[in-house]
Chains A and B, each alone.
Chain A
């Protein structure tokens, strides 16, 4: 065998191995997807059926039984609402830390990150009681507030690492022209970092969409987002796998597709720009 042949064979083997692993890891999602088009009987048949006549009935049943659209709307409102709110609060902070760093900037950043280390369950009781007392239990507003605070440290960090990479000369030029810090932020920094802000927002939306601890504990029928709606399908009685799959497919599809498109930005985001 010549060297090129050897190399080709190696590429082929690596490719095959990668495909096998990828298909294996993706299999549960694939299976959920095709099960959502089965009848309940086909869904639990042994051996599992790969070929069958697809039906859309499960999707209509899910909509009727648990009002999918309402919960999807709750998910959209809470994740977008919390993301926008958190960006508005975080942008000025990240801006001032990136461009006017003081002695304590690093400490403040690490402290913010450490609030993420505070386990949610440690404050579950007070948050539950406060929400109850202020009428925020099972309300979208309550979830938006919690999600905002929950993601704020990560958002500040991400924006900080984007802003830090902007060329300082542009800002100095603006300052020479007599721009105030506020002008600088609105007119110079924001337009230059649209990409960074967008990927920060994307990450925050994914995290909110899939958040399950607070949404399970603080919402009931009214404000429950999709994560909580799906949990209601965990009841042990009866095997509704086809309907469960249909509901799950509907709940995950938007964010999975969303994620496919912005995987690169998400890495940068989740690693605070430490990995490029």
Chain B
């Protein structure tokens, strides 16, 4: 009796998520095996593996995979390392600490499209941007960030967005650190670095795991920043998997190939998720 009620309460969430997962996924699988271009309707014959072949042999395919992974790993490294360092920096009270906190976390609330536009125009523009002005003040040639270092530009934008999240989580975690333990270590003659290395960093293991997991979910799917700033270019230099598929589906109207690409994205995410959820699942108390 009690059992059936609890099942009933869970049913809407479980069924909706099941549908949200299975219906589009099975449609994607089906589309990926047929010839389906929105420009040529009515020619939806079965083509087997052709769409997959087409997607894999796309000149951008391997570049997109490597860009996706480079983006993921770089942003994770930047945000976790800087996040730990900065949260340790602002852990102790100082003048105006609350204001500093508010300033530090603000980029997290900026929407991705705005983020990309600010950086693309006002920071990285080679003629009028702030970076160009700084280079010129030092007598250097301004860098055309988006054309010369497109992927790095995207990494900067995305890291700027996610660093505050890491800081916020680590600051919160540091507050629960045992101060007595730290004082005891100090008494025993440990210096600041030792305390940081042997007490603070281990204490942050779990928050780091959480940050890595949440960021990975969002970083594998970076789209708006690329869409607004570089458009995946020049060439394929800043195209990731998400953008490559978008390109196939909505710009070339090739649903079949885009679906095949979508399945690759799912596969890639699953490989990453398999390791992540295993590692992090242990860390989350249920």
The interface of chain A, by Cβ under 8 A from chain B, is 11-12, 14-15, 17-19, 21-23, 25-26, 28-29, 31-32, 35, 44-48, 89-90, 92-93, 95-97, 100, 102, 105-106, 108-110, 112-130, 149, 152-153, 156, 180-182, 185, 206, 209-210, 212-213, 216-217, 226-228, 230-231, 233-234, 239, 241, 244-245, 248, 251-252, 255-256, 258-260, 263-264, 266-268, 270-272, 274-276
Q: B172 to chain A: which residues have CB within 8 Å?
A: 264, 267-268, 275-276
Q: B120 to chain A: which residues have CB within 8 Å?
A: 234
Cβ contact of A124, chosen from B105, B173, B246, B277, cutoff 8 A: B246
Measured CB to CB, the closest approach of chain B to A72, in angstroms, equals 12
Cβ contact of B118, chosen from A32, A122, A260, cutoff 8 A: A32
Query: Are the CB atoms of B31 and A15 closer together than 8 Å?
Result: no
Q: Select the stretch in B55-63, B178-186, B254-262 that faces chain A.
A: B254-262
Q: Which residue of B lies closest to A94 (CB)?
A: B13
User: In the complex, A244 Cα to B115 Cα: how many Å?
Assistant: 12
Question: Does B25 lie at the interface of the complex (its beta carbon under 8 Å from any beta carbon of A)?
Answer: yes
> With A112-B17, A217-B246, A266-B168 in contact, is A272–B10 under 8 Å at CB?
no
Query: Are the CB atoms of B86 and A21 closer together than 8 Å?
Result: yes
> With A25-B107, A152-B17 in contact, is A217–B250 under 8 Å at CB?
yes
Q: B259 to chain A: which residues have CB within 8 Å?
A: 125-126
- Which of the listed residues A116, A206, A264, A271 has the most CB atoms from chain B within 10 Å of its own CB? A271
Question: Does B242 lie at the interface of the complex (its beta carbon under 8 Å from any beta carbon of A)?
Answer: yes
> With A23-B103, A115-B20, A226-B111 in contact, is A156–B128 under 8 Å at CB?
no
Q: A268 to chain B: which residues have CB within 8 Å?
A: 172
Cβ contact of B24, chosen from A126, A213, A276, cutoff 8 A: A126
Q: B270 to chain A: which residues have CB within 8 Å?
A: 117
Q: Select the stretch in B42-50, B94-102, B147-155, B193-201 that faces chain A.
A: B94-102
Measured CB to CB, the closest approach of chain B to A225, in angstroms, equals 9
Q: Mark B142-177, 1 if CB is under 8 A from A, else 0.
A: 000000000000000000100111001100110010
Q: Which positions 69-123 of chain B face chain A at CB distance < 8 Å? A: 86, 89-90, 92-97, 99-114, 116-123
Q: A11 to chain B: which residues have CB within 8 Å?
A: 92-94
Query: Are the CB atoms of B104 and A22 closer together than 8 Å?
Result: yes
Cβ contact of B100, chosen from A19, A251, A274, cutoff 8 A: A19
Q: B108 to chain A: which residues have CB within 8 Å?
A: 259
Question: Does B16 lie at the interface of the complex (its beta carbon under 8 Å from any beta carbon of A)?
Answer: yes
Cβ contact of B163, chosen from A25, A182, A213, A248, cutoff 8 A: A25
Query: Are the CB atoms of B206 and A275 closer together than 8 Å?
Result: yes
User: In the complex, A195 Cα to B220 Cα: how many Å?
Assistant: 32
Q: Which residue of B lies closest to A247 (CB)?
A: B114
Q: Mark B227-264, 1 if CB is under 8 A from A, else 0.
A: 11100000000000110011001100001001101110
Query: Are the CB atoms of B16 and A14 closer together than 8 Å?
Result: no
Query: Are the CB atoms of B21 and A274 closer together than 8 Å?
Result: no
Cβ contact of B113, chosen from A17, A121, A230, A276, cutoff 8 A: A230
Question: Does B65 lie at the interface of the complex (its beta carbon under 8 Å from any beta carbon of A)?
Answer: no
Q: Which residue of B lies closest to A47 (CB)?
A: B133
Query: Are the CB atoms of A18 and B24 closer together than 8 Å?
Result: no
User: In the complex, A124 Cα to B27 Cα: how many Å?
Assistant: 11
Cβ contact of B262, chosen from A46, A102, A121, cutoff 8 A: A121
Query: Are the CB atoms of B265 and A119 closer together than 8 Å?
Result: yes
Measured CB to CB, the closest approach of chain A to B238, in angstroms, equals 15
Query: Are the CB atoms of A126 and B286 closer together than 8 Å?
Result: no
Query: Are the CB atoms of A274 and B284 closer together than 8 Å?
Result: yes
Query: Are the CB atoms of B96 and A100 closer together than 8 Å?
Result: no
What are the nearest 8 A-B pairs in CB distance?
A15-B94, A212-B224, A123-B24, A126-B27, A93-B13, A92-B9, A122-B262, A259-B109
Query: Are the CB atoms of A231 and B21 closer together than 8 Å?
Result: no
Question: Does B214 lie at the interface of the complex (its beta carbon under 8 Å from any beta carbon of A)?
Answer: yes
Q: B104 to chain A: which residues have CB within 8 Å?
A: 21-22, 25-26
Query: Are the CB atoms of A18 and B97 closer together than 8 Å?
Result: yes
Query: Are the CB atoms of A276 and B96 closer together than 8 Å?
Result: no
> With A93-B12, A117-B273, A244-B117 in contact, is A125–B283 under 8 Å at CB?
no
User: In the complex, A271 Cα to B164 Cα: how many Å?
Assistant: 14
Measured CB to CB, the closest approach of chain B to A35, in angstroms, equals 6
Given contacts A149-B17, A272-B210, 8 further A-B contacts (CB under 8 A): A11-B93, A22-B103, A46-B136, A110-B281, A119-B221, A125-B258, A127-B24, A274-B283
Cβ contact of B111, chosen from A19, A128, A149, A212, cutoff 8 A: A212
Query: Are the CB atoms of B169 and A267 closer together than 8 Å?
Result: yes
Query: Are the CB atoms of A276 and B94 closer together than 8 Å?
Result: no
Cβ contact of A28, chosen from B102, B160, B265, cutoff 8 A: B160
Q: B111 to chain A: which residues have CB within 8 Å?
A: 209-210, 212, 226-227, 230, 251-252, 255
